[in-house]
Structures are given as C-alpha cells and as structure tokens.
Structure 1
Amino acid sequence: MSDYKAFRVETQDKIAHVTINRAEKVNAMNADFWTEIIDIFRWIDETDDIRVVIVSGAGKHFSSGIDLAMLASVGSELGNDVGRNAQVLRRKILQLQASFNAVDQCSKPVLAAIQGYCLGGAIDLISACDMRYSTTDAQFSIKEIDMGMAADVGTLQRLPRIIGDGMMRELAFTGRSIDGEEARQLGLVNRTYADQQALLDGVFAIAREIAAKSPVAIRGTKEMIRYMRDHRVDDGLEYIATWNAAMLQSADLRVAMAAQMTKQKADFAD
C-alpha cells in the first residue's frame, strides 16, 4: 500500500480499515481525499485476501464534509464566460461523483462506522456504503441546502433507497440535524453504540463474521442487490440465474455444505 495524505489504511483478519485521517480539520474532504479514495478502493477490489471494508474517521468526528478551501479553489478556475464555467463545474462534479461511485461499485461489502459529525459530503459517502453504524450521539445533516446548493455527489440519488423518499426530502429541504438514535429509527444506520470504541468493536465483529463467509457468495449477493436498484424483478431473476450457472460450480459450495454437515467452521480460499 502507498502512503496517503488524507487516509490511513490498515488490514487485519481479511478486513481493510480505511480511516479518514484529517482529525485536525474535522476530516474535511480535501483534494487529496477525492483522488486517494479511488486508488484505495481500486486496490481493495484487486486484492483477493481483503473481503470486507470498514470506513471510519479519525478523532472525534467522522467527517464535516467537503473542504471549503477546495470549493474556493474551484471557484478560482471560473472566468467570465457562462458556457465555459458550466463545463468546468460539470467536469469537477463528475470527478467527485466518481470518487463515491468507487465505493458503491466495490465488490466487497463496505461498512461505515460513524461518530460525531457526519455532514454534507459525508452523507454522500455513507450513502455509497453497504451498511452504516454509529454512536448514539452522532450528528447527521444534509448541509448543502444551507450552503445554497443541491447535494450533487450521490445523497439525493442513493438515500431515498435507504430511508425512503419522504424523509429524505425532509432532511434535504431543511438541512436539519438528526442524532444516531433517530438515524437508527429511520433506517439510515443499522445499529447504534454508546461510544466510539464500542462502535469500532461492534463493526469489526460484524465485518469478521462477513469475512468468514464464502467470498464468491458474498460478491454474488452484493452484485445482485446492487443490480436490483435499477432493474425489474424479472431482470434480476434472469441475471442471478446466469450468474449462479457459473458460481454454483465454485468449490466454496462444497466447503460450505461440508462445514454445515460436520458443524465445523468453513475455511474458504481467497
């Protein structure tokens, strides 16, 4: 692994722990963040002995969202021509979207562990993760509305499928903050924990449980769930039939069945 400026990446028990590592800046998402996250998730996808990913934030907060200094630097690229300015801004927005698309499209399950602030762009990030967990006192807010803009990096596209359309609209239109307990009630997070250490212990326990499963089966399950966001039921049934025509020939199926019959722990190849 390379050294990163905005992240710390560690591996243990077939889990990649990706930590936003700018605690002194409330883990604001600077230019390094947006480029490095693509490299990190490409590496994770290509590394067979990584089976699960945990995304967290160093220090007291998960992330305060996009770094305002970065927004200012984008503004400095604009000139007097509206058409050319629009092209510059559109290109930049698509670049930022690609960063969280890399998270969404990762073939391994991605779990977010959230404490403190989870604001603006941080909501875009956790919306691209498979599951979300938080401390009870975490603070979530779609802050873009208070900056005079519409969220444009994935929140408005992914969040309705997580918490439902009506609540997403309320949070997006008002920008109001919700705590971890309300987030759990809405389905934004699966579970809450009393403090940051309990959060990490709990999320790592879930990640280790997932990592012990067949990586072929986990990848197929994630791919089918992701595919069904944008397709009809009959499309999904056709796809899983084609997918499993190959994947059911994997040795993992025999290993899993033998483990079930002997009541022993299965040991799957990467």
Structure 2
Amino acid sequence: MTTTQDFAEGKLVAACDGGIGTLTFHNEPRKNAITAAMWRAIPRALHFLTVEAGARVIILAGAGGQDFSAGADISEFETVRKDAETARAYELENSAAFRAIRAARVPTIAAIRGICYGGGFGIAAACDMRLADETARFAIPAARLGLAYPADAVQDILLALGNQTTRKLLYTGLPLTARELEPSGFLLQIADGVEGLEKEVFTIARAIAANAPISLAASKLAVRAVTENDNVLMSEAEVLGASTFESADYAEGRAAFAERRKPVFKGA
C-alpha cells in the first residue's frame, strides 16, 4: 500500500511503497523549479518518508518525465531574495534542504532527466547516487545572475564531481551534458531513455530496500565521515556499526543464510 503526503501546496509530493520512497518536484510549468515553500518543505518531507512512512531508500525526481529541476524559482527573487537580509534567510533554507538530503538516514538516489541546474544540481549533488538519461543537462548559472552559490552546496558538488569540472561549472555558468560529466564519476550510470532510467533506478532502489536498515545507516555514516573528513561522524558510524552485531536483523541474516532463503529485515 502506498503512503502519500503533499507538501508546499502540492508542489512537493512524498510517497512510499514497499520501503521505496519517492520525493517528486511538481512545478512543471517552470521546469520543476524549487519555490521557497518547497525548499522549506524538503526536510519535513524527508522526515515523513523516513520516520512515518518507513522508507528504506528515497528516489528524488522531477514530475512530468522532462526535467529534474531548473533550480531555485527565479520568479520569486524580487520577494524572497530582494536584499542581503532576505537573501541570507533564503540561503539558510536552501542549506537546510541540502543538509536534510545529505544527512538522511537512508540512501538517496537522484533520477535526472532534462534540466538539472542551480539548486537542482545542488539537490542532486547532496544525494548518495545519481543516474541520468541522455537528455540530462547540468549547469550552475549563479555567476551569470550575479549570485554566489551556497558554500555547503559547493562542497557537495566538489566531492561528487571533482575539482576541475566543479570550477568550470561555477566559473563559466555553461551547461554540460551527461556524457561530458561521465568521466568525473558524478553519475553512477547513464540510462537509455525514460523507461531505461526508471528501470535502472528502481532496480537499485529495490536492492537497497531489501537490505538491513541499520547496516545501511552505518555504511552511509561511514561514507560521509570519510568524504567530509569528519571525526565526529566517524565515531557515530563506529558506534552504529557495532550495534548491528546485537541486532535482530543480524540474527535474521545469519538464519536466512543458513536456511538458504531471503532475509526479512525489520530495522531492529
């Protein structure tokens, strides 16, 4: 049974079925640009999926099968980013959204078609994995708007994309194709068409959802600790990893292996 909840007046839709959560941007007339209300809602939507709906993996995508996201909705800037004070408040909301994705207890996957610009690129970079199809286009046009890209989002992009390509995107504002990004390792895979992308994304999501949640959370913390060079996260990962040995899921995993059946993990 699918559990669904709308946020930001229906522009952000969270759903979960069989442990697979989806977070979809619904602003198709503006290429799924992220409004201020959507930025604010992203942490709440992720909390709903992981805590209330029981998602073990979350797929982020744009509605309509055309574009992931054009980034922040520029049509709102005269109000929400009109001066230094409002811009700082707006960027805090951006950062909170990036942080919620980056720190989500469960793995996150960005399924990217079409435009993935600006804040949309930042959302994708904050995810654990990114898959795209041949239509995907990536850009960070902040410098062409006279803005600076949030520093925490730059960190996500630099870690995911590498030094030189990140500099090119930030300094030029010019778009790159999925194939041009392929050598950087930013994309796990470039799929063939809409159906191919959906198939590959859900194949990975189902494999993740079938695994032990505490093990996944410990692995995600460990990866973050290493990539961010964070000793506090490393300590947390070690504690969580050690707890798996006393978990019911570890007992279930051993029993399933001995009995030659698929394990049924409950996250305990």
Same fold (TM over 0.5): yes
Summarize the Cα distance change of 1:189–1:72 in structure 2 as closer, same or farther, 3 Å threshold. Answer: same
Per-residue CA shift, 1:173-209, capped at 9, x if unaligned?
Answer: 1122111122222111100111112111210110000
User: 1:102 maps to what in 2?
Assistant: 100
Indicate the SS of the match to 2:228: coil
Selected match of 1:42 from 41, 44, 47: 47
- CA separation in 1, counterparts of 2:50 and 2:92? 21
Cα-to-partner distance string for 1:69-122 (whole Å, 9 max, x where unaligned): 12121244x4xxxxxxx4443222112211221111110111000000101111
Matching residue within 31, 53, 56 for 1:51:
56
Q: Is the 8 A contact 1:159 1:168 kept in 2?
A: yes
Change beyond 3 A, Cα 1:23–1:136: same
Q: 1:268 aligns with which of 243, 265, 268?
A: 265
Look at both structures and tell me which one has the larger radius of gyration over its CA atoms: 1
Using the alignment, how far apart are the partners of 2:124 and 2:40 within structure 1? 17
d(CA) in 2 for partners of 1:236, 1:9: 28
Q: Distance in 2 between matches of 1:90 and 1:124?
A: 17
CA RMSD between the two structures: 2.0
Which position in structure 2 is the counterpart of 1:3? 6
Where in structure 1 are there 5+ consecutive unaligned residues?
A: 79-85
Structure 2: which 5+ runs fail to align? Answer: none
SS across alignment from 2:6: coil
Match of 1:165 in 2: 163
- Is 2:73 the partner of 1:67? yes
What is the match of residue 87 of structure 2?
89
TM value normalised by structure 2: 0.90
The 2-side partners of 1:48 and 1:229 are apart by 29
Shift of 1:38: 1.8
Identity of aligned residues (%): 27
Q: Distance in 1 between matches of 2:178 and 2:115?
A: 10
Whole-Å separation in 1 of the counterparts to 2:169 and 2:128: 20
Matching residue's letter, 1:109: P
Answer yes or no: is 1:254 the counterpart of 2:251.
Answer: yes
Q: 1: CA distance between counterparts of 2:58 and 2:204?
A: 11
TM-score computed with the length of structure 1 as normaliser: 0.89
CA shift at 1:154, angstroms? 3.7
| C-alpha contact 1:128 1:154 (8 A) present in aligned 2 | no
Offset at residue 254 of structure 1 (A)? 1.8
* Contact in 1 for aligned 2:221/2:237 (Cα 8 Å): no
> Which stretch shows the higher mean deviation, 137-146 or 87-96?
87-96
CA contact (8 A) 1:6 1:36 kept: no
Q: How far did 1:248 drift?
A: 1.4
Query: Aligned partner of 1:267: which letter?
Result: V
**Is the CA contact (8 Å cut-off) linking 1:93 and 1:153 kept in structure 2?**
no
Distance 1:242 1:3 in 2: 35
| The one of 127, 136, 144 aligned to 1:129 | 127
How far apart are the structure 2 equivalents of 1:64 and 1:232?
31
- The CA deviation at 1:236 is 6.9
Name 1:213's counterpart in structure 2. 211
Question: For the residues of structure 1 that align with 2:216 and 2:230, how far apart are their CA atoms?
Answer: 22
User: In structure 2, do the counterparts of structure 1 residues 18 and 241 end up closer, same or farther at CA, with 3 Å as the change threshold?
Assistant: closer
Superposed, 1:139-154 pairs within 5 Å as 139-152=137-150, 154=152
* 1:189 match: secondary structure: coil
Residues 158-197 of structure 1: matches in 2 within 5 Å?
158-197=156-195
- Write the distance in 2 (CA, Å) between the matches of 1:152 and 1:49: 31
Deviations, residues 149-181 of structure 1 (Å, cap 9, x unaligned): 221164311111112112211221112211112
Q: What residue is the counterpart of 1:29 in the other structure?
A: 34
Distance 1:162 1:257 in 2: 35
